Amino acid sequence: MKIKKDDNVKIITGKDKGKIGKVLRAFPRASQIIVEGVNIKKKHQKPTKSNQKGQILDKTMPIHISNVMILDPKSKTPTRIGKKIVGGKYVRVAKKSGTII
C-alpha cells in the first residue's frame, strides 16, 4: 500500500469529493484508510450506567484507498506515487515533481 499514516491526501470521489485531510490510520489488508474529517457517520450509543444518558457520537469511518490521491509536497496537488532506490533503500517519489515523500 503506497499511502501511509500522516500523509496528506485529497478525496477524488464520493460524497466528500474535494476535501483534503491527514491519514490517521491505515488498514493494509483491507486497502482502507481513515482520513481526518472525512466519511463521518453518526453512532447511537446506549447508556452504559443507570444514571447516564444515551448519546449520538460522530465517528470517522474508513474509506478505500482507490478513492484518494496523495498530495505532492511541493505543489500541493494530487499526484501518483512511484518508487526509487536512494542509498540502498526504496523511497516513495511524487510523479509530478519528483520529490521524495
Domains detected in the chain? 8-72 (2.30.30.30)
Where do we find the cell 488498514? Answer: 27
| pLDDT single digits (tens) 60-79 | 999 999 999 999 989 999 99
C-alpha torsion 22→67→74→3, nearest 10: 60
The SS3 of residue 66 is helix
> C-alpha distances in angstroms, 13 versus 30, 62, 86?
18, 14, 33
| pLDDT single digits (tens) 4-49 | 999 999 999 999 999 999 999 999 999 999 999 999 999 999 998 8
